[in-house]
Structure 1
């Protein structure tokens, strides 16, 4: 499956929260992400290897994610493969022992809104990354490659409804964090 995703910078957080809150109640979550690489093998070929731990008021779960190279340059959408892991420390130990290094570690404070839009199961996530200024909205849905462009159009329509069509961000959080840390 491909994660069709668009990300926008949010200037009026209250308005976005209001619109999304009319769709569904949010779920607060904290994402602890650790990205791994080996001699620029992943980043040099536009791929990602990540262990993410998601904590909510009700649960805590960890996921190993592998993202292949972009299939849509403008949005940055990538084929994504995930599996839940019961012991993220064991996965980290395996990766480190096999030559991977920790590329970047980051925290995302999120409000997740899952709802139907234009026939798609959409996850809209209002994101605050402590090391970055401002807020972001990620809108995503999982689709087959054949449905990617239609899904991206629908996600674009959702951002237009929110007044964010001119605020698209194509960069990654990892790149933004590394740039912020190098200043």
Structure 2
């Protein structure tokens, strides 16, 4: 089978990670894949912040959950009030993805970069999970969000939108989720 297609078919969202750190040279290669994503007008409106500090990841998780406790959706509040829930699933590293606020299609562009990163991680045998929950920390400009933007050295004009949890999976085989049927039409 084609190597790229094989990687795509193997990729799964991992939520149970080993504590083992990922070598920085591998993290750099994974991020490089993100920078090669297509973007509208080639703006490349992304910024990647790699965090491998457990105390900082725990603090971000805690503060995000505190904000999400006031979310209008009950199931989000359920995650936020669950003491065992860690928004990054205790992964040893994350990549926080920020987008240039005045770009043409920054969320779409960052989604393409995110998928490249997820596939690159899979190609290195590293588990990954796209984490949207962290966006609650940055949706509104608050004192706490400003503190994190400064601490994480997010460039001016950029806004964090989601993250990718990365680490070696504790599970050998994550089951394939059921795929929807009838999602493709061919018109010749």
TM-score range, shorter chain: under 0.3
Q: Computing the radius of gyration over CA atoms, which structure comes out larger, 1 or 2? A: 2
TM-score by length of 2: 0.26
Identify, as 1 or 2, the structure richer in strand: 1
The structure in which a higher percent of residues are helix is: 2
